[in-house]
Amino acid sequence: MAKIKCAIIGSGNIGTDLMIKIMRTARHLEMGAMVGIDPASDGLARAARLKVPVTHEGIDGLLRLPEYRDIGVVFDATSAKAHIHNNALLQRDGKKVIDLTPAAIGPFTIPVINGDANLDEPNVNMVTCGGQATIPMVHAVKRATKRLIYGEIVASISSKSAGPGTRANIDEFTETTSKAIEILGGAERGKAIIILNPAEPPLIMRDTVFTLSQGGDKAEIEDSIEQMAEAVRQYVPGYRLKQKVQFEHIGDNAPVRIPGIGLASGLKTTILLEVEGAAHYLPAYAGNLDIMTSAALVSADRWAALKLARETA
């Protein structure tokens, strides 16, 4: 079966996990290069042992690799700031770019919401780990109601699963995720919070989603949420609802004040999630990284399948 070669920029936790996923589970992709900036990184060492071409000279090193010419898609797992520079060079050379940083140069993409809509975009943004886990739930409430006034997510991850790149992107995480709650989730107002939990032993990723909506039936909302959870499980088997969906009526006699909207009433929905990683490279508690790499792989694999189909048509 024909496959398209790909490169990963960023040899840290996310990049290394993604490499292993591609080598084990990708249908239409194969590794073409692993790129880092630390010659002693475990990711580069592991890639070299697996006979993947490597460079520790970042994007410049990738451009000099003889294999670069045959690379069709590049995953960027660095930082929001670095991605701006990397993307400019990659777009110049006509490479498809999958952005795993919060830079948000290309359209927000979550496979279960709008994955197929962005297949032809030169750059797609995978939002954030918290966004990949929670925004499908916000969208599930939106499609079952007439008006989704507010969506708030709280992502709690083990501090051990937050590497230098994640920590450097905290501000971008909240801004990007909040915006995506509105654009992809469909909320009129979105808010995102991330918590790095230092507990030992490390705790699995937990997420809480709050929404305020109007014009929806509880049973229909709950059914929409369960259907969405099942859809996400198709590429993240460890994704699950932690307990039954909770509802609370916010009456006109005691409305809540939402910044930018004002006083509002309606149905408050609380969704509690847990995301367990597949442990391809990272521990199972790092579900926050696993859902990001899984979503990126699904998006790139769909694009590759379409490209190969067009070439053989």
SS3 category, 21: helix
Question: β-pairing, 96-99 with 262-264?
Answer: unpaired
How large is the average pLDDT for residues 91-102? 96
Tokens of 62: 């990738």
Q: What digits encode the pLDDT tens for the residues 155-205?
A: 999 998 887 767 877 888 899 999 999 999 999 999 999 999 999 999 999
The answer to whether the 4-127+291-312 and 129-283 domains have the same CATH topology is: no
76: left (phi over 0), alpha (psi -120 to 50) or beta: beta
DSSP string, 246-282: EEEEE-TTSPEEETTTEEE-EEEEEEEEEE----SSS
Rounded to a whole number of angstroms, the distance between the first and last alpha carbons of the chain is 15
What's the whole-model pTM score?
0.94
pLDDT of residue 53: 98
How large is the average pLDDT for residues 62-69? 98
pLDDT of residue 118: 94
Distance CA 254, CA 279 (A): 46
Q: Are 110 and 85 in contact (CB under 8 A)?
A: no
How large is the average pLDDT for residues 30-35? 98
Q: Which percentage of the chain shows pLDDT scores above 90? A: 93
Distance CA 131, CA 135 (A): 5
Domain spans, the chain: 4-127+291-312, 129-283
- pLDDT category, 110, cuts 50, 70, 90? very high
How large is the average pLDDT for residues 52-77? 98
Distance of CA 54 to the CA centre of its chain: 25
How large is the average pLDDT for residues 37-50? 97
229: left (phi over 0), alpha (psi -120 to 50) or beta: alpha
pLDDT of residue 261: 95
Q: What digits encode the pLDDT tens for the residues 120-143?
A: 999 999 999 999 999 999 999 999
Cα three-residue angle 110-79-83, rounded to 5 degrees: 80
Q: Give the active site residues.
A: 129
The dihedral of CA 249, 154, 235, 201: what is its sign? negative
The 3-state secondary structure of 157-183 reads EEHHHCCHHHHHCHHHHHHHHHHHHHH
The residues, any chain, with a CB within 8 Å of residue 239's CB and separated by 6 or more, are 133, 229, 232, 233, 273, 274, 275, 276, 287, 291
* CATH of region 4-127+291-312: 3.40.50.720
SS3 category, 134: helix
Class of domain 129-283: alpha beta
The residue count for the chain = 313
How large is the average pLDDT for residues 286-310? 96
Q: What digits encode the pLDDT tens for the residues 232-280?
A: 999 999 999 999 999 999 999 999 999 999 999 999 999 999 999 999 9
